[in-house]
Every structure is written in C-alpha cells, then in structure tokens.
Amino acid sequence: MYRLFVAIRLRPSMLDACLEAIADGPAGWAWQTGEQLHLTLRFIGEVEGPVAEDIAWALSLIQARPGEVALNGVGLFDQGRRSVLFARVAPREPLAVLHAKIDRALVQLGLELERCSYFPHITLARRRHGAADPASWLERHAGLVTPPKQAASFALYESHLTSHGPHYEAAGEYPLPTTQ
C-alpha cells in the first residue's frame, strides 16, 4: 500500500518565511520541519501499487497555469484537539482550478471526490495535548507575506509515517507551464 498526496514544493522565500514563523511558535504544538512543509493540492490516502501507477500517469496529463503564489498571513483551523496552525497561500482561484483538475483525474480512476472545498494553505503545526494558546503567535505573524513566485511544478508524494513524524518522498514531479 502507498499513502499518497499531491502537493507543490515551496519556493525558498516561502520556505524561509514559514521556518521563521515556526521558530518562535508556542510550546506544545507539533511543528513541521522544513522537509515536511508543502502546499497540498489533494490528499489521496492509501492505494495499491497498480492504482498508484495509474495516478502517476493521470497526473502527467494535467495542464494548468496556477501562476504566481505567495504567503498571505496565518490562521488557525480550530478543531479542538485536532487544531492546526497554517500559513495562507494566495491567490486561491488558480490553485483551486489546479486542485479541481487533479480531483477530476482521480475520480476518473475510481477514487472518491474530495468532499470539502479547497483552501490553499501550508500546515505549520498540529495541536498536542497541553499545547499553549496560539493567540499571540497568530497576532505576531498576521502579516506573514512573501513576494509572488511562479509555481514551477507539482509532485506526487508518498508519505511514510514514522515515530519521528511523517517523512515525504516525491514519487513523481509534473512541470507547470509558465505564464506568458
């Protein structure tokens, strides 16, 4: 079985800004490492080998121009013990179009349609038991922004769960056309 997701690897300016915000994060949260940071386009989950091969092929056929993307603040998905701190990514619309194309390709392979609407973000931390209140961190990093940079590609990732957190390995990379 392969545990898969589709994501955009962060450009250096976005990665550096996220790591700077993480460096002074509140205690008790499970903070992501630089290697774990990415912009998820579609979580797939566990699939068998032949399905993984079909997914890789289907992704190679996708044509989209997400254009330039940038960080635009931080936020909290407040879900109690399952809360997440994140960095917003903008603009939403071109990324939502790419997400929809990926979702349609996966549905054509027999996977389920993603149920929630797409909200481009980068997960920075997940709440642990006893985690500190993130209100002051959210306030300090409300202005987290980066200059827009062209998204050059997206990738199919395999997620390996370990005792030290997830490890992500690119299983395929798909170039995106540049905007003219």
Q: How many domains does the chain have?
A: 1
In a domain, 180, yes or no: no
**Residues above pLDDT 70, as percent of the chain:** 99
In a domain, 63, yes or no: yes
The range of the structural domain enclosing residue 60 comes to 2-175
C-beta pairs of 109-112 under 8 Å, 24+ apart in sequence: 109/51, 109/54, 109/55, 109/58, 110/51, 111/44, 111/47, 111/51, 111/55
- 14: in domain: yes
According to the model, what pLDDT value does residue 179 have? 57
Q: What is the pLDDT of residues 10-63, one digit of tens each?
A: 999 999 999 999 999 999 999 999 999 999 999 999 999 999 999 999 999 999
pLDDT score of 73: 97
Name the pairing type of β-strands 165-175 and 2-8: unpaired
Q: Is residue 93 part of a domain?
A: yes
The answer to whether residue 171 is domain-embedded is yes
Is 41 part of any domain? Answer: yes
The CATH number that applies at residue 29 is 3.90.1140.10
pTM above 0.95, yes or no: no
77 has a pLDDT exceeding 80: yes
Residue 24 lies in a domain: yes
Residues 142-161 have pLDDT tens digits of 999 999 999 999 999 999 98
Task: Report the mean per-residue pLDDT for the chain.
Answer: 94
Domain assignment of residue 159, yes or no: yes
Does the pLDDT value for residue 78 go beyond 70? yes
104, 118 contact by CB (below 8 A) = no
| pLDDT of 110 higher than 90 | yes
